[in-house]
Structure 1
Amino acid sequence: MKLDFLEPVVAHKGPWATVYATTGPADESSARRRELTWRELCRSLEEQGADEATVGAVRASLDGLEPGADTPGIALFAAEGRTVLTRTLGQPPAATEAIWSEIPRLTPLLELTQQRPGCLVARIDRAGADFRMHGVSSVEDAGSVHGRDRPPHRAAAGVWSARHFGVAGENTWAENAARIAQEVVRVFADSGAELLVLAGGARECHSVDEDLPLELRDVTTISWHDGRAAGAETDRLDASIETARLEHAARAAENVLDRFRAGRDASGGDPAAIEGVPAVAEAARQHRIDTLLITPAGPDPRRELWIGEHPDQVAVRRSDAERLGAEHPHAARADDALLCSAVAAGGEAFVVPGDGGDGSPAGGIGALLRWPVGEAERTRG
């Protein structure tokens, strides 16, 4: 899972107030329950030592929420008297809680959003396409592209020069399909999406799909339930988008675990995957983490690491953190400390569901590396 949406949090100084809460429906009885819940969350932050300004920012953000069926949960991160990041959740969190800590509590957010990878939807007809970005917690317009509209269709049979106009219509559509595909590539790269859905007529979608580069076609799904026309089957398209997201997340999960098993068990070569908190912490210091793997049910995510002022100052012992230049080391959960380091280094992360099973990182923490572990690193480790 891409982590760029967490960059505002990692770039900001702590300590942090992290809140996970269920918002509930927008009715009178739920409003009363929310008021009591917000009050209890803020009281909890005060008891944990949060400053008045940050607690006030949390309360203001909670009061400003608009609950409804589309936002069953919320994740909120605040520091130094302001809310830095708010994410609406597609499902309620496992627990409503408020945490005051040196770094934000991030793993539950990844666990809740991993099943909803960013998805770019292109609604296509023969004259162009409209784009919408389905993000982790919102849907936004992402622009459009318009092709030539004359002649967009075949001429009727029997009309003078029908063959000429029919060929011209096909040539126009071929040009439009290529233009739409070119814009799809650009918008997809800018959006940060992991999945592409082409919606519209079968012929139009397949024509655009054929003009896409192979790496983008590998993450493309075609839906015939909607196009650009008024009255299109929006509900059926929404359902197909959610199905595509779930299927993409499942494929991505299996791919990550396959790569981890192959990299860890490399025979006759240097391992490209590691496991265990000490080894992953060393990789984080060297900016070598490509993808961080976390199994929340394992013991290692709850282990203690020592962190400094910079995300790559992570160590198993306080004295090691001081040797890395940390002036005032703090203890932190291993999963959150390593996640912050991965975000800062441009890495990705994957939360392994359940207990992970065979082939997942022993203890619950592992990583795919940007370059393999050589003999010198193994000996030193």
Structure 2
Amino acid sequence: MQLSLLRPMLDRPGPWASVYADTTHASEDAAKQRQLSARAAAEELAALGADNATCGAVHQALLEDVPTGGPGKRSGRAVLASDGAVVIDIPLAGPPAAPVTSWSPLPRISPLLKGIGEDPLCLVAYVNRLGADFELRGDGKQEAAGQIQGADWPLHRAPTADWSEKHFHTRVENTWERNAGEIAEAAADIWERSGADLLLLAGAPRERRAVRDRLPLPIRTVTVESEHGGRAPGSGSQLLERDIAEARAAHEAGHTAEVVERYWAGRGAERGAERESAPASAGVPALVEAAREHRIATLLVGPDGPDIGREVWIGPDPDQLATRRTELRYLGEAEPVAARADDALLRSAVAHKAEAVMVSDPAEAPEGGLGALLRWGTPGGQP
């Protein structure tokens, strides 16, 4: 999961209200159910010590009816609030694995990893011989991302067989080739600007292949094609929706598997295995040290483990974290507060543009529940 959507949390010192709620409410009295759920969450926060303004902000947010993508579709919400304002409000693709209502020094982020996963962003290109329309797709996201229009003549082969047919067909082929190149160039530009994770090409087979062959190699390796849908109005279909969903799921599973493999290879190298690999680390003391030095590239979070809820000490700055209260005072924070290790490490990951991956399989998760791939190895090394 790219954590950039959580950056607004860095501007708030806390404490934080965190609510992960089931918002399905598909019955006829859905409005009444929302009222009851919102009231229950606000009352629970108040009982935990949250201030009235923050309780009221969460209550108001949960009262709002957020579209879930279809009647009766199961859904959830993640609402994070501080100092009387909702800072982050994210619809979930389904109900949270377990409802969460907490009042703590830092927002609870681990349930969000479970709720939305990596949420890979898919750039969809609807292509034909003339150009392409682009669209960004993610969980709860569907927005136009641009258009490219190529040359419109000559675009079709002539049905005649006169003396100039061969020459004209060559010109048509050249038009197709130029348009495919321009579509690929536009796709690469939108890819870079949007931060997309994968590209899906929809359209006729020849046009798809022509564009794909002209993409830069890094994008081509994460490009898939769909036989369904196209650029013509009304050409969208449920089969195309299925292909987009499957492409996003496959990308997420593949990325998680790659991160896990690299992590365990790195742990093996640390223990003396004969294999070149990226450095990896585990254990709260080592991870805290790596976070303070901005060495964490990817934080791995397991579904369970003793390290996840282990107590660490923090200050208002993301770099102010330590395993012992006296250590944080030595680092300059006079009034450290206790927080969960997963929350503190995730805040650091947000601040320093790392990514985070939820490893759902306990057999593949880091020992203790927390681990990291590092940007570089030992302290004092070079990035």
Answer yes or no: same fold by TM over 0.5: yes
**Is 1:83 aligned with 2:86?**
yes
Give the superposed CA RMSD: 1.9
Name the aligned partner's letter for residue 7 of structure 1. R
Residues 66 and 91, structure 2, Cα contact 8 Å, conserved in 1: no
Structure 1 residues 164 and 134: alpha-carbon distance in aligned structure 2, compared to 1, 3 A threshold: same
Identity fraction in percent: 46
Residues 270 and 373, structure 1, Cα contact 8 Å, conserved in 2: no
Cα displacement (A) at 1:300: 0.9
Distance in 1 of aligned mates of 2:286 and 2:154:
63
Where do 5+ consecutive residues of structure 1 fail to align? none
Name the aligned partner's letter for residue 289 of structure 2. E
- Match of residue 287 from structure 2: 280
Summarize the alignment of residues 121-270 of structure 1 with structure 2, pairs less than 5 Å apart. 121-158=124-161, 161-266=164-269, 267=273
Point out the more displaced range, 146-155 or 84-93.
146-155
Cα displacement (A) at 1:74: 1.0
- Match of residue 100 from structure 2: 97
Residues 311 and 344, structure 1, Cα contact 8 Å, conserved in 2: yes
Distance in 2 of aligned mates of 1:205 and 1:118:
20
Secondary structure in 2 aligned to 1:331?
strand
Residues 23 and 67, structure 1, Cα contact 8 Å, conserved in 2: no
Where do 5+ consecutive residues of structure 2 fail to align? none
Secondary structure in 2 aligned to 1:284?
helix
Distance in 2 of aligned mates of 1:139 and 1:155:
39
Summarize the alignment of residues 13-32 of structure 1 with structure 2, pairs less than 5 Å apart. 13-32=13-32
- Match of residue 59 from structure 1: 59
Point out the more displaced range, 324-333 or 287-296.
324-333
Residues 150 and 182, structure 2, Cα contact 8 Å, conserved in 1: yes
- Match of residue 367 from structure 1: 372
Cα displacement (A) at 1:160: 6.1
**Is 1:10 aligned with 2:10?**
yes
Distance in 2 of aligned mates of 1:171 and 1:193:
30
Distance in 2 of aligned mates of 1:156 and 1:328:
82
Structure 1 residues 38 and 159: alpha-carbon distance in aligned structure 2, compared to 1, 3 A threshold: farther
**Is 1:334 aligned with 2:351?**
no
Residues 26 and 67, structure 1, Cα contact 8 Å, conserved in 2: no
Name the aligned partner's letter for residue 11 of structure 2. A
Distance in 2 of aligned mates of 1:281 and 1:136:
32
C-alpha distance after superposition, 1:283-314 (max 9, x if no partner) = 00000000001112112111111111111111
Distance in 1 of aligned mates of 2:49 and 2:9:
20
Distance in 2 of aligned mates of 1:170 and 1:325:
69
| TM-score where L is the length of structure 2 | 0.92
Name the aligned partner's letter for residue 34 of structure 1. R
Distance in 2 of aligned mates of 1:290 and 1:137:
27
C-alpha distance after superposition, 1:232-273 (max 9, x if no partner) = 142111100111111111111110011111111113679700
**Is 1:345 aligned with 2:352?**
yes
Cα displacement (A) at 1:146: 1.3
C-alpha distance after superposition, 1:183-222 (max 9, x if no partner) = 1111111112211111111111111111111111111111
**Is 1:322 aligned with 2:329?**
yes
Residues 328 and 336, structure 2, Cα contact 8 Å, conserved in 1: yes
Point out the more displaced range, 161-170 or 101-110.
161-170
- Match of residue 36 from structure 1: 36
Structure 1 residues 96 and 165: alpha-carbon distance in aligned structure 2, compared to 1, 3 A threshold: same
Residues 151 and 179, structure 2, Cα contact 8 Å, conserved in 1: yes
Distance in 2 of aligned mates of 1:67 and 1:20:
17
- Match of residue 305 from structure 2: 298
Distance in 1 of aligned mates of 2:378 and 2:315:
25
Cα displacement (A) at 1:66: 2.8
- Match of residue 117 from structure 2: 114
| TM-score where L is the length of structure 1 | 0.93
Residues 3 and 348, structure 1, Cα contact 8 Å, conserved in 2: yes
Distance in 2 of aligned mates of 1:100 and 1:312:
22
Distance in 2 of aligned mates of 1:327 and 1:351:
34
Residues 38 and 60, structure 2, Cα contact 8 Å, conserved in 1: no
Distance in 2 of aligned mates of 1:34 and 1:67:
13
Distance in 2 of aligned mates of 1:157 and 1:74:
62
Residues 281 and 373, structure 2, Cα contact 8 Å, conserved in 1: yes
